[in-house]
Amino acid sequence: MVYMETVAVIFGGRSAEHDVSIVTALASIIKPLELTKKYRVEAVYIAKDGAWYWDDKLKDIKLFTSGGIQDYLHRAQPASVQFDGGMMLVKASGIAGRKQTRKVDLVFPAMHGTYGEDGALMGLLDMTGIPYVGCGVSASAVCMNKVLAKKVALGCGLPVSDYMSFHKSFIERDASTLLKTILKRLTLPLFVKPAHLGSSIGITRATSETELRNALEVAAHYDDEVIVEEEVPNLIEVTLPIMGNDQPKPALLEQPMTKPEDFFDFDTKYLQGGKKGKGTAKGAQGYSQIPADLPKDLYKQAEELGLNVYRVMGCSGIARVDMLIDSKAKKAYFNEVNPLPGGLYAHNWNKAGVSNVELVERLISFAKERHAQRQSLATSFSTNYLQQF
Amino acid sequence: MISKLTSLYRPSYAAALIYMLQSTEYQIRPYLRWVWRTDDFSGVMHRRTLERTRPAKLLLAALSLGMLVQIAAGLLLVYLGIWHNLTGGIAFGLAVLISYPFIWAYLIVLPLVLGRELIARPKEQMLLNESDAIFAKHSGIKIAVAGSYGKTTMKELLTTVLDEGLKVAATPANKNVSISHARFAANLEGDEQVLVIEYGEGAPGDVARFARTTHPTHAVITGLAPAHLDHYKTLQAAGEDIFAVADYLKGKHVYVNGEANAAKPFIKSSYNVFDRHNALGWKVERAHVSLSGIGFVMTKASQELELHSNLIGRHQVGYLAFVAALALELGLSSEQVQHGIAKTKPFEHRMQPYELGGAWVVDDTYNGNLEGIRAGTELLKELKAKRKIYITPGLVDQGEETERVHQEIGRLIAAAHPGIVVLMKNSTTDFIKNGLKAGDFKGELRIESDPLDFYTNLKHFVAAGDLVVMQNDWPDNYA
Amino acid sequence: MQVIVDDLLTHYDLHGKGKLVVLLHGWGDSAKGLAGLQKELTVQYRVLSVDLPGFGSTQMPKTAWDLDDYARFVEHLLRKLEFQQPYAVIGHSNGGALAIRAVSLECLQPQRLVLLAASGVRTNNPTRRLIIKIIAKTGNAVTLWLPRRRRQALRKHLYGATGSDMLVVPELEDTFKKTVRQDVQGDAAAIDVPTLLIYAASDDAVPVADGRQYHSLIKGSRLEVVKNAGHFVHLDQPDKTVALIKEFLA
């Protein structure tokens, strides 16, 4: 019997995008990984309360769609993780109190949003010292903070639309002064967003002072930090999935056909089945154009920008860069980065000639490559610091 | 082992038996062979399940009742045995009790045979007699379509194109034996200008019999290949049977697909032979094949006709050209023919292209024979793609030819130079592998043990730039 | 769109131009359920449809609310969005009861009121309520031994069978109890706004009898009974309902 590496796919989590994460993990990661027949795949599910579960039953999407997961969580014993010499999953086996264990060779994080995509999980995995797929701690943390990401991009000379950011307490303390400050520097319409959340939760397009005030309150309801951005005129939104470490490769520029903030048309909104675009509707197949229908030079410009953003953020493995294009001025602006695109954006990779199975296999090899590089760095030095003490 | 044994005693066992009967089209011999071969009945309905038709429901009710009666009898015997302290009685009772799944797997055949002989057969005979008279009297052109493959395609092409200018009636899909011809006749209105009648072939003498009862005026022979050899035994016998319709017509208005190599020895000089270059005196040129269809030009003397069909594959060119030429002979205008040919499109699972996550898949999983494989591999070779993938489980019904045919399949696949070949693990896998080797195949070979699982997950394996040709879905009763 | 009202993240839809019309949905429903009606009305009016707290995408109220709390919530929402009093209020089912209470409390002061299968006539059958109560209490005691989830499922099933919406949103159980205890017939009697009552002939949740009761209580009100429609009259007979409302608002 050939030794099969064990890949743990971690999904769910204490974030607003808990449900999206389940779909990403089961449909776009676990299934293709199992089809490679090269890995033993372990499903590790983090419930909304933060407890970890490890079970093959968690690989079945029906458990989640039928609501059976509630019953399951009632009965199942949470699993735990040991960090002795790597990472080991541990759970009660149900037979005379014996423990069942599995040593994990590699982790495939499938978490979206806070406590998962934002670097928190990556920090834990770095401590275990095993390879894992996707961006590392710092890139994840920077990308998931829209303010920080803009600052990094600006610092590297990449174009971003004008913005301001504020702490929640500022909004609560003196909203009127804040409104004046904002409107002195930025022109309506403005986009107001919570700094950390993924997808489009809590985002409002404000066209008047009243709307701006309300929008700030809404964003502050979700997050400590709020970002206000000027709208790019003649807007074409595009997004670009990218993978790789030192030599990132782009998929195809994708143009979502309905903007989540476009509330005008009832039909599109309700047919999308979405309230304010819950992330998946945005960019989901059928609602987007791949590749985006752009003039060649503009396409190239956006693709370059996307790759540059990927590099300066320090991304590795995979990420998706959202950009805003002023179609008249022919200029692309960086908007934000998703370190773990929903469903890995497999539909886009497929169109770019990468199958689901290839996609996960490549991501695993990138994870190993980065891990090997880090292993070769000198991380411990002998000093005589203690002796001198 | 235990689970296999318990599968006999599960409540679903009765349904599994009826399902097997249904899948073998209530033919007793294949059913019994299947029962004999199966040791785990819980896996029988893995891919499909029982379709609850009236006969199926009746049989299931009869079977369940029979089993219950036997269980009751067994219990009664055991009870009596205990009551009267008869060890032999108890043992016999237990035997009766335990044996019900075995007994009824065979006993269920009985009502089937009785029903067929006492009810179905006399009724059919009456219908047949009536249909003979209807066909004989009918004044329309009666085109018989016979062959080991391509019959349905030919029938559909004739119907679609001729319908542009004539009143056409055709036998329904796959209804190609005497009784279906008779039902077809009973439903005719009488004023049809063309009847298209498909001749299914199953055993020696079939086609000759069909010809006698349906009184054709024209016949198209679409091809000859090793198929149904379990009944015909040899290709020669199959050919003789199919060409019986030509004898019936005394060689007049007989059209034969000249690309069918096996048919060549049977062709007489009075027959009209068509292929991808010539049809009824028309020359076929500039044929272009792509995933969006076939385009070609037909010329005869000063006449020129440009045609486009949505059918896929170069092997269809001959069929299309023949149908177009015949339609012109029967009085249709060039515009009508062009329009009719433009309407022709692939049928479900027969060289049917579809997009899957940016990749193109040509689904040719319906039915299968060596000529079909030749056409499919030819298509794979001809079309451009970044990566070519070929999937097949092999062919059934090849009798003694199995090894030779599958080695040939392997060579045909190799000649198309696919990057990946996917085979399903079964009795033919090794023969195809040998053929691949002989054809110097250099790509990746995958052998899958669960075809259904592989088909449903195909979307995970392909991406834009891939061309997949899938041929011959292996029915699970042969696995 | 979202806004913070009474410290609750509130979702609403606002479309169209013209005089303001406010839509209030029923128990267990949301603004989505009235979307068809909203779309029709946006041709002539500015229509505000809100997910009431606990429903749709609006947060749960932090304590158990009654109709008065909901009425004040709607008042605060309008203030937040800087609207004056609406031209018309349209309430369906429990949203209708809410509209009556809100008008009575002067939280809403519309010029037109439309009640679609409005509930709020709570005392028509005291015996039935008593019986349900007795069964519920006994049932509670009898099923105590069941696992919590099973018990909840069973309760949901049984309440559904008696025609009660209590466990449609289990988290709002206390709010539901408070709300349905509130009879608004007294409030209805005090209404002097032109009112259109639309009830469905085959409604078994809120019978036409309730509509007649309101009709007799609200001075100068008009009662329309729509045939071939159930409780969701605006979904079952959309054309008819919309035509009635448009004509009344014109």
pLDDT tens for A310-353 read 999 999 999 999 999 999 999 999 999 999 988 899 999 999 99
Bridge partners of A11, per DSSP, are A45
pLDDT tens-digit readout, B72-81: 988 888 888 8
- Cβ-based contacts of B357 with chain A (< 8 Å): 347, 350-351, 355-356
Measured distance CA(A184)–CA(A176) in Å, rounded: 12
C220: its two tokens:
């100068």
Measured distance CA(B125)–CA(B179) in Å, rounded: 9
Name, in order, each residue with C-beta under 8 angstroms of A37's C-beta and a sequence gap of 6 or more: none
C107: its two tokens:
């939280």
What is the pLDDT, as a whole number, of residue C137?
64
Instruction: Determine, for residues C57 and A275 on separate chains, whether the beta-carbon distance falls below 8 Å.
Output: yes
- Whether B48 has a pLDDT exceeding 50, the answer reads yes
Q: Which long-range contacts (CB under 8 A, 24 or more apart) does A206-213 make?
A: A209/A179, A209/A183, A210/C81, A210/C82, A212/A179, A212/A182, A212/A183, A212/A188, A213/A175, A213/A179
Amino acid at C246: K
Query: A104 by DSSP, 3-state: which?
Result: strand
Terminal Cα-to-Cα distance of chain B (whole angstroms): 19
CA distances C240 to A318, A329, C96, Å, are 54, 50, 19
Q: Are A110 and A293 in contact (CB under 8 A)?
A: no
Chain A touching partners, 3 or more CB pairs below 8 A: B, C
Instruction: Determine, for residues C3 and A218 on separate chains, whether the beta-carbon distance falls below 8 Å.
Output: yes
Cα distance from A345 to chain C (closest Cα, Å)? 27
Is the dihedral angle over the CA atoms A146, A152, A158, A159 positive or is it negative? positive
B207: its two tokens:
């086609």
Please compute the mean of the pLDDT values over residues B319-330 and round it to a whole number.
Answer: 94
* A–C touching, 3+ CB–CB pairs within 8 Å: yes
Q: Which residues 3-62 of C have a C-beta within 8 angstroms of A?
A: 3-4, 9, 11, 13, 15, 32, 35, 38-39, 56-57
What is the pLDDT, as a whole number, of residue A380?
65
- In CATH, the architecture of B139-343 is 3-Layer(aba) Sandwich (3.40)
What is the pLDDT, as a whole number, of residue B366?
79
pLDDT tens-digit readout, B420-462: 999 988 888 999 999 999 999 999 999 988 877 888 888 999 9
Instruction: Determine, for residues B463 and A32 on separate chains, whether the beta-carbon distance falls below 8 Å.
Output: no
Measured distance CA(A111)–CA(A12) in Å, rounded: 6
ipTM for this model: 0.80
Q: Which domains does chain C have, with CATH numbers?
A: 2-122+182-249 (3.40.50.1820), 126-173 (no CATH)
Q: Which domains does chain A have, with CATH numbers?
A: 5-142 (3.40.50.20), 163-230 (3.30.1490.20), 234-372 (3.30.470.20)
Amino acid at B136: A
Instruction: Determine, for residues A358 and B463 on separate chains, whether the beta-carbon distance falls below 8 Å.
Output: yes
Please compute the mean of the pLDDT values over residues A15-34 and round it to a whole number.
Answer: 89
Please compute the mean of the pLDDT values over residues B396-415 and round it to a whole number.
Answer: 85
- Cβ-based contacts of C2 with chain A (< 8 Å): 202, 204, 214, 218, 276
Please compute the mean of the pLDDT values over residues B358-370 and round it to a whole number.
Answer: 84
Helices B54-83, B100-107: axis angle to 10 degrees equals: 140
- Whether A228 has a pLDDT exceeding 90, the answer reads yes
pLDDT tens-digit readout, A166-179: 898 888 888 888 88
When CB atoms are compared, the residue of A221, A264, A266 closest to C9 is A221
Name, in order, each residue with C-beta under 8 angstroms of B131's C-beta and a sequence gap of 6 or more: B181, B182, B184, B185, B186, B213, B214
Q: Cα B83 to the chain's mean position, in Å?
A: 58
Question: Which of C3, C14, C39 to substitute to test the interface with A, most A CBs within 10 Å?
Answer: C3
Q: Which long-range contacts (CB under 8 A, 24 or more apart) does A221-225 make?
A: A221/C4, A221/C9, A222/A194, A222/A197, A222/C9, A223/A168, A223/A194, A223/A195, A223/A196, A223/A197, A224/A167, A224/A168, A224/A195, A225/A145, A225/A147, A225/A165, A225/A166, A225/A167, A225/A168, A225/A194, A225/A195, A225/A196
Measured distance CA(C214)–CA(C248) in Å, rounded: 17
Cα distance from A15 to chain B (closest Cα, Å)? 28
- Cβ-based contacts of A355 with chain B (< 8 Å): 357, 359, 460-463, 466
Q: Kindly report the CA angle at B394 between B390 and B399, in degrees rounded to 5?
A: 155
- H/E element, A285: none
pLDDT tens-digit readout, C97-113: 999 999 998 899 999 99
- Domain boundaries B352-478, CATH class: alpha beta
Task: Tell me C170's DSSP state.
Answer: G
What is the pLDDT, as a whole number, of residue B185?
84
Instruction: Write down the H helix ranges in chain A.
Output: 18-23, 31-35, 61-65, 68-75, 120-128, 137-144, 146-155, 168-173, 175-185, 209-222, 266-271, 296-312, 346-351, 356-376, 385-388
Question: Which of A218, A265, A269 to substitute to test the interface with C, most C CBs within 10 Å?
Answer: A218
Q: Per-domain residue ranges for chain B?
A: 2-107, 139-343, 352-478
pLDDT tens-digit readout, C7-35: 898 999 999 889 999 999 998 888 988 98
pLDDT tens-digit readout, C156-165: 665 655 556 6
Measured distance CA(A26)–CA(A55) in Å, rounded: 13
Query: 10 Å Cβ neighbour count for A222?
Result: 19
Measured distance CA(B391)–CA(B466) in Å, rounded: 13
What is the pLDDT, as a whole number, of residue A271?
36
Chain C touching partners, 3 or more CB pairs below 8 A: A
What is the pLDDT, as a whole number, of residue A278?
32
Please compute the mean of the pLDDT values over residues C187-204 and round it to a whole number.
Answer: 88
* A–B touching, 3+ CB–CB pairs within 8 Å: yes
> Which residue, C127, C106, C97, C112, is CA-closest to C214?
C97
Q: Are A227 and A195 in contact (CB under 8 A)?
A: yes
Phi, psi of B178 (to 5 degrees): -50, -50
Measured distance CA(A217)–CA(A211) in Å, rounded: 10
